[in-house]
Structure 1
Amino acid sequence: MKPELSLSLQFADPRHRALLPRHKVQRWIRAALELPGEITVRIVDAEEGQALNRDFRSKDYATNVLTFDYADEPVVQADLVICAEVVEREAREAGIDIAAHYAHMLVHGTLHAQGYDHEVDDEAEAMEARETEVMLALGLPDPYAATAR
């Protein structure tokens, strides 16, 4: 049985709203959750994405997903901020479905919220393996397979 999820879904940038119906976003996040969660997902434009990345990570560019994690036990509490323009560009460049890329970003961010980290070499492999496992279980492509890039 999948963990419970309280989800707030916000669209500051509504361009992909039709690709992100609430039930799909819930399904993708719940597939990666290992404990109950309270998660806010905010879809933003490049300007807001860049400002948040600059202010919180000192990186002056918009990135695909930012995870703000507040607690991981007993309930995962986090905000996932996804930049619509970056997701769209990355999907187009990789030749993959935009919705599948959003699913990957939601899985990726949810794993970060639970303490997974890909910036530490010995943890990157475990995080990527877990992402692949979740994506395949959802019937979506392996984001790290050569054909998915």
Structure 2
Amino acid sequence: MKKVHFNYADRKLSLTGKENCKQHIEYLFSKEKKKLEEIRYIFCSDEYLLQINKDFLQHDYYTDIITFDLSEGDATTSEVYISVDRVKENAITQGTTFTREMLRVLFHGALHLCGYKDKTKDQVSEMRKKEEQYILSFEKKYK
């Protein structure tokens, strides 16, 4: 049974190598020594994710990702919502490609589920290092 799924709310994801991305997310969990039951990535628009942010987190602002840990026990089960619109915009503002920014966001959600936080300056720094580590290992393995 596949553990990583890509689903679409109101936006399709045009990204080459989707199966490679899914495999690398499973690899990330194994490297972080975290058991993965199932992770569903749901790709959506800014407006769709803004409504989730308002309804579930009481935040009234756009974001690129919201991760819901639905785990019961030691195996990770989750839903991860990603705004394709926000990822596209962030890629432009960060001066990177859409693919690289999408990888960063995909791995960011997985890293949250592995226990990494990003509330303090030190936590953000560690999260960025881990994101880059997995992007580089992905690029090395699949390019």
TM-score interval, smaller chain: 0.7 to 0.9
* Correspondence 1:64 to 2:60: no
Q: What's the RMSD between the two structures over aligned residues?
A: 2.3
Count how many residue pairs are aligned between Structure 1 and Structure 2: 136
1:24 CA displacement: 3.0
Moved more, 122-131 or 56-65: 122-131
* Correspondence 1:44 to 2:57: no
Q: Secondary structure at the match of 1:102?
A: helix
CA distance in 1, matches of 2:11, 2:52: 18
1:97 CA displacement: 0.9
Any unmatched runs of 5+ in structure 1? 141-149
Moved more, 20-29 or 52-61: 20-29
Question: Could you tell me the percent identity over the aligned residues?
Answer: 24
- Residue 13 of structure 1, aligned match among 10, 27, 31: 10
8 Å Cα contact 2:3/2:26 also seen in 1: no
Relative distance call for 1:96 and 1:73 in structure 2 (3 A) is: farther
Match of 1:32 in 2: 28
Match of 2:127 in 1: 127
Runs of 4+ displaced beyond 6 Å: none
TM-score (norm 2): 0.81
Q: Secondary structure at the match of 1:119?
A: coil
Kindly provide the amino acid, as one letter, of the partner of residue 109 in structure 2: G
Relative distance call for 1:6 and 1:50 in structure 2 (3 A) is: same
Listed one character per residue, the Cα deviations across residues 59-89 of structure 1 (whole Å, up to 9, x for unaligned) are: 1122101111122853111111000111111
Match of 1:116 in 2: 116
TM-score (norm 1): 0.79
